[in-house]
């Protein structure tokens, strides 16, 4: 007998018991055996610890959605035998699979594929894992005419190749997967799109089907309801409807034009950001949008980021529209020698950058080619590192909360301890940096996910992901060390001993690109911004022409109080004016009729709520002013 510890209890089993038998009744869709993620069908031969992997965990959802992609591919191959399968991973919002077909799939095809998937679910088709020799795997997929799988195998270094069999379907995959198709009770195909093989426009265009799957129909319905709500909140639709911004083919893709109302919100965001940063001891600078290519050669961007840069010939020389703000901030720091007494130096900027993005990846204001980022770079001594990180993370949380975000997920990305040779910087720098990041997260009592091997080659980092009103994650704030640029530009300070010492360089953003953050705000609030951020805080509505003069007096009083107000004196019915103000999501509607004008009152309505009744103007003014205070 062997002792298998599960959920804190050691139980005896015969050797060869499967992980699924050990976890029977737990709802597991996969297992961890001594920390290793495996299929439930894996036999257990010796003492070990077995823990369930559930659907509501990140890795559980990944296993489930990946299994659903195989289910979809099986259905496609049964309905369209000539289709060649490419890749089918899980993604944050479900899964997709790419197919090479003579005729691209249409939305109408999805219904038939989804129907076949549900038939396969009812058949409880077993999902079996096999390890093949390289020659066996090549022969298997060659016989099936799966050219893309053959190419993938050629790129694998392994001598043993992992495949999964699911009835008449076989796929190249490391797994793990669910034990049989009946687990995937509620699949749903969402849409179809084109995608180049390997994402390269020079390769063949494939037909990509996106989908989502859940263990039961109730979870699927809740998800589909969220998708519908997301469509209603889509920042591209609301950006047009609320007259906030526009994108123009004539000007080029991925460039945002801010309309007066959108520019007002942008200005409010930037003013708040600047106030908080000045209070936190930052010096604000401005750097050029363009710089000679020699700067980008020195920074390393030209060699490693060239395909994303816009290079411009000028007077027989080469300039670059800046893709990053970092080198410019370092040049400012290096204009004079800094003593240890001068540090920390905190340089911040709303820096506009330009990066080439493929046209197929552009998405409203969320993914653009020109954007303005709230960049800052901190130069400090080793002794100051922890407090500087603490200040960065504290400021990030304070500002994100001011914009209405209260829930966060935090990732701590550190180097792979088994392959430290892949990273720049010495052990002392990395250990100090990682130790400081951990201590800050513990001081702030922030739960975090430690991601070993996910640090960039030039330093460890903290990423803060906010959760919006629809529980979607958005990466905004980041705080990362940069041993690369610090070394390339010889960033140093004069120590107490009179010698040069390398300064620690910390790169950070709080909101990220303002275009993207604006899009997140629009969708988080559904366009109904809080009063302090609303481009128009109040609109005065007249019932008849006789109240026009009074409405103008009310508007003047509000403007004198530094409020943003509009007057609607059009000769339309008051019901139409109210509907229009509601559609534009204006926080306050002040209705001026004959009685209100005679008594110096206004009838007040709040967006999305009931009539608040008749009030003296000064009373409603005080209420709006209180809601208009910028968070502190």
Is 3 noted as a catalytic residue in this protein?
A: no
Residue 289 counted as an annotated binding residue: no
From residue 158, give the alpha-carbon distance in Å to each of 135, 143, 215, 272, 419.
11, 21, 34, 54, 19
State the catalytic residue, choosing from 461, 564, 577, 585.
461
The sign of the dihedral angle between the CA atoms of 422, 427, 429, 435 is: positive
State the catalytic residue, choosing from 98, 171, 375, 482.
375
Whether omega before 176 lies within 30 degrees of 0, making that bond cis, reads yes
State the catalytic residue, choosing from 507, 564, 585, 607.
507
Max Cα-Cα span within the chain: 94
How far apart are the C-alpha atoms of 246 and 255, rounded to whole Å?
9
Compute the chain's Rg from CA coordinates. 29
Residue 377 counted as an annotated binding residue: yes
State the catalytic residue, choosing from 373, 384, 429, 480.
373
Looking at 310-360, list the stretches that DSSP marks H as alpha helix, in order from N- to C-terminal side.
326-333
State the catalytic residue, choosing from 326, 380, 476, 479.
326
Q: Which two tokens stand for residue 575?
A: 């019901």
Give the CA count within 13 Å in the CB-facing half-sphere of 456. 14
Backbone angles phi, psi at 601, to 5 degrees: -120, 175
Backbone angles phi, psi at 58, to 5 degrees: -60, -45
Q: How many other CB atoms are there within 10 angstroms of residue 485's CB atom?
A: 23
How far apart are the C-alpha atoms of 632 and 630, rounded to whole Å?
6
How far apart are the C-alpha atoms of 177 and 180, rounded to whole Å?
8
- Cβ distance 269 to 514 under 8 Å? yes
Is 373 noted as a catalytic residue in this protein?
A: yes
Tell the burial category of 395 from Cβ atoms under 10 Å away from its Cβ (0-12, 13-18, 19+).
buried
Is 507 noted as a catalytic residue in this protein?
A: yes
- Cβ distance 457 to 484 under 8 Å? yes
Is 380 noted as a catalytic residue in this protein?
A: no
How far apart are the C-alpha atoms of 102 and 329, rounded to whole Å?
52
Is 377 noted as a catalytic residue in this protein?
A: yes
How far apart are the C-alpha atoms of 398 and 396, rounded to whole Å?
5
State the catalytic residue, choosing from 77, 208, 355, 415.
355
Residue 576 counted as an annotated binding residue: no
User: DSSP of 518-567, one letter per residue?
Assistant: HHHHHHHHTT---TTT-SS-EEEEESSGGGHHHHHHHHHHHHHTT--EEE
State the catalytic residue, choosing from 233, 277, 377, 516.
377
- Three-state secondary-structure class, residue 364: coil
How far apart are the C-alpha atoms of 73 and 68, rounded to whole Å?
9
Q: How many other CB atoms are there within 10 angstroms of residue 587's CB atom?
A: 25
**Known binding-site positions for Zn(2+):** 326, 377, 507
Active site residues: 326, 355, 373, 375, 377, 461, 507
**Known binding-site positions:** 326, 377, 507
């Amino acid at each position: 007998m062997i002792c298998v510890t599960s959920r804190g209890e050691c139980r005896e089993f015969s050797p060869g018991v499967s992980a699924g038998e050990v976890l029977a009744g737990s709802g597991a869709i996969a297992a961890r055996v001594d920390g290793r993620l495996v299929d439930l069908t894996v036999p257990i031969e010796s003492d070990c610890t077995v823990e369930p992997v559930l659907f509501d965990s990140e890795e559980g959802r990944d296993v489930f959605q990946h299994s659903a992609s195989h289910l979809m591919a099986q259905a496609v191959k049964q309905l369209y035998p000539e289709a060649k399968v490419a890749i089918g991973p899980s993604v944050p919002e479900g899964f997709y699979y790419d197919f090479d077909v003579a005729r691209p799939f249409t939305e109408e095809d999805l219904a038939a594929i989804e129907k076949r998937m549900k038939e396969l679910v009812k058949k409880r088709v077993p999902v079996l894992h096999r390890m093949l020799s390289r020659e066996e795997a090549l022969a298997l997929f060659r016989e099936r005419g799966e050219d893309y799988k053959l190419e993938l195998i050629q790129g694998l270094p392994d001598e043993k190749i992992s495949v999964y069999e699911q009835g008449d379907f076989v796929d190249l995959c490391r797994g793990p997967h669910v034990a049989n198709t009946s687990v995937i009770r509620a699949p749903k195909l969402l849409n179809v799109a084109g995608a180049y093989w390997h994402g390269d426009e020079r390769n063949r265009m494939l037909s990509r089907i996106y989908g989502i799957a859940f263990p039961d129909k109730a979870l699927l319905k809740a998800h589909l309801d969220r998708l519908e709500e997301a469509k209603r909140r889509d920042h591209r639709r609301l950006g047009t409807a609320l007259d906030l911004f526009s994108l123009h083919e004539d000007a080029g893709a991925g460039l945002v034009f801010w309309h007066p109302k959108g520019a007002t919100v942008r200005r409010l965001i930037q003013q708040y950001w600047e106030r908080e940063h000045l209070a936190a001891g930052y010096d604000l600078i401005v750097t050029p949008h363009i710089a000679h290519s020699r700067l980008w050669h020195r920074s390393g961007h030209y060699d490693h980021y060239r395909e994303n840069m816009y290079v411009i010939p000028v007077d027989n020389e080469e300039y670059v529209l800046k893709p990053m703000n970092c080198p410019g901030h370092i040049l400012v720091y290096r204009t004079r020698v800094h003593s240890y007494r001068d540090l920390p130096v905190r340089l911040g900027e709303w820096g506009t950058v330009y990066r080439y993005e493929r046209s197929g990846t552009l998405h409203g204001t969320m993914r653009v080619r020109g954007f303005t980022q709230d960049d800052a770079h901190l130069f400090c001594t080793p002794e100051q590192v922890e407090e500087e990180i603490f200040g960065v993370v504290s400021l990030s949380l304070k500002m994100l909360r001011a914009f209405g975000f209260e829930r966060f997920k935090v990732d701590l990305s550190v180097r792979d301890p088994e392959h430290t040779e892949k990273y720049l910087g010495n052990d002392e720098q990395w250990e100090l940096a990682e130790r400081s990041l951990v201590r800050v997260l513990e001081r702030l009592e922030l739960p975090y996910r430690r991601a070993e091997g996910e640090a960039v080659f030039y330093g460890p980092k903290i990423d803060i992901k906010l959760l919006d009103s629809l529980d979607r994650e958005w990466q905004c704030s980041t705080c990362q060390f940069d041993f690369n640029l610090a070394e390339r530009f010889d960033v140093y300070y004069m120590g107490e001993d009179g010698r040069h010492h390398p300064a620690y360089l910390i790169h950070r953003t709080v909101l990220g690109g303002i275009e993207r953050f604006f899009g997140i705000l629009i969708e988080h609030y559904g366009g109904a911004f809080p009063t302090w951020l609303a481009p128009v805080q109040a609109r005065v509505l007249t019932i008849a022409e006789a109240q026009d003069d009074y409405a103008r007096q009310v508007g003047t009083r509000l403007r004198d109080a530094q409020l943003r107000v509009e007057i609607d004196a059009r000769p339309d019915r008051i019901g139409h004016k109210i509907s229009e103000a509601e559609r534009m999501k204006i926080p306050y509607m002040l209705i001026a009729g004959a009685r209100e004008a005679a008594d110096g009152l206004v009838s007040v309505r709040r967006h999305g709520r009931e009539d608040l009744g008749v009030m003296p103007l000064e009373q409603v003014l005080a209420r709006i002013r209180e809601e208009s205070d910028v968070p502190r």
